[in-house]
Amino acid sequence: MSVRKLKPVTPAQRFRVVNGFDAITTDKPEKSLLAPLKKSGGRNSQGKMTMRYKGGGHKRKYRVIDFKRANTGVEATVESIQYDPNRTAFIALIVYKGGEKSYIIAQNGLQVGQTVVSGTGVAPEIGNAMPLSEVPLGTIISCIELRPGQGAVMARSAGAFAQLMAREGKYATIKLPSGETRMVLADCMATIGAVSNSDHQLIVSGKAGRKRWLGRRPRTRPVVMNPVDHPMGGGEGRASGGHPRSRKGLPAKGFRTRSKTKASNKYIVERRKK
């Protein structure tokens, strides 16, 4: 994986850094695994705007990803590594021995022709999915379930990974990408290896138009609003805006909004750093 810095032939290209797409092996998705993706433009069923700064963007098709890896014990071969416009990570098209095709999140180092398998009693190799109870301690993992059978919900974005720290009784302790250390049931599935496309963080858009391609409209800074529109608005001249806070008045940048009485607090061993 690599990134490419473009030649400054236009002002927009001067700072632009794009993905090299070295790992991508094909540009044609599997038609049987595509689904329509409708845009809302930030409007609800009544047509009222409930989310600002959304709209436009390039038309996309959804790639149906197998987050559950429920086809256990059956070997599958990686047919291709593909780009997915709906996520930062790359995806892998795998073909099971019976001929069934499926998309999974591609791990870093996953190669075309490689064999992957999920379930109990499998080897802890890149791309294989297995219960946390069988993963060796200290292993780098990703695509982790929070509840058994739920499907992967944690450490799914580009370059993300967690680490299995300990096991005690029916719980496994994992260190998450946010820095939080928490306990998860050892029956939950996880995939060996870090998520692909770790260079995603180095990408620079270079121009405002690329945000529009992604469906993000221009965002108005709170400081330039009026007091009626935002707590940080108003003031004479170029006022700084006071304490950083949200439109609803909740302090930002360090203020903790997690409920102190949340039931799952008992599973958190160490909170993420500020």
Asked if residue 149 and residue 41 are part of one domain, the reply reads: yes
Question: What residues form DSSP beta bridges with 107?
Answer: 195
Query: What mean pLDDT do residues 35-56 have?
Result: 96
Give the 3-state DSSP-derived string for 76-138, with helices as H, strands as E and coil as C.
EEEEEEECCCCCCCCEEEEEECCCCEEEEECECCCCCCCEECECCCCCCCCCCEEEHHHCCCC
Position 1 scores a pLDDT of: 64
pLDDT in tens, 144-158: 999 999 999 999 999
Residue 40 lies in a domain: yes
With contact defined as beta carbons under 8 Å apart, do 210 and 218 qualify?
A: no
37-46, 127-136, 249-258, range with the lowest pLDDT: 249-258
Residue 212 located in a structural domain: no
Are 10 and 97 found together in one domain?
yes
pLDDT at 2 over 90: no
Same domain? 255 vs 180: no
In a domain, 215, yes or no: no
Q: Count structural domains, the chain.
A: 2
Please give the pLDDT value at position 86.
97
Residue 228 has pLDDT above 80, yes or no: yes
Q: Over the stretch 177-209, which tens digit does the pLDDT of each residue have?
A: 999 999 999 999 999 999 999 999 999 999 999
Whether the per-residue pLDDT at 60 is higher than 70: the answer is yes
The pLDDT value given to residue 241: 81
Strands 76-82 and 115-116: antiparallel
State the average pLDDT over residues 135-140: 97
Confidence of residue 242 (pLDDT cuts 50, 70, 90): confident
| Residue 245 covered by a domain | yes
Q: Given strand 101-105, what is the order of strands in its sheet?
A: 101-105, 91-96, 76-82, 115-116
pLDDT at 237: 87
The model's pLDDT over 62-112, given as tens digits with 9 standing for 90+, comes to: 999 999 999 999 999 999 999 999 999 999 999 999 899 999 999 999 999
Q: Are residues 7 and 98 in the same domain?
A: yes
pLDDT value of residue 229: 94
Is residue 13 pLDDT above 80, yes or no? yes
Answer yes or no: is 214 within a domain. no
Same domain, 247 and 169: no
Q: Is residue 220 part of a domain?
A: no
Please tell me the distance from the alpha carbon of residue 183 to that of residue 178, in angstroms, as a whole number: 14
- Tell me the CATH number at 143: 2.40.50.140
In a shared domain, residues 53 and 139 = yes
Q: What pLDDT, on the 0 to 100 scale, is given for residue 174?
A: 98
Can you give the pLDDT at residue 254? 87
CATH (domain of 230): 4.10.950.10
218, part of any domain: no
What's the whole-number average pLDDT of the chain? 95
Same structural domain for residues 135 and 9?
yes
Residues 32, 90 share a domain: yes
Q: Could you give the percent of the chain with pLDDT greater than 70?
A: 99
Quote the domain boundaries for residue 264. Answer: 225-268
Q: What is the mean pLDDT of residues 119-129?
A: 96
Same domain, 26 and 145: yes
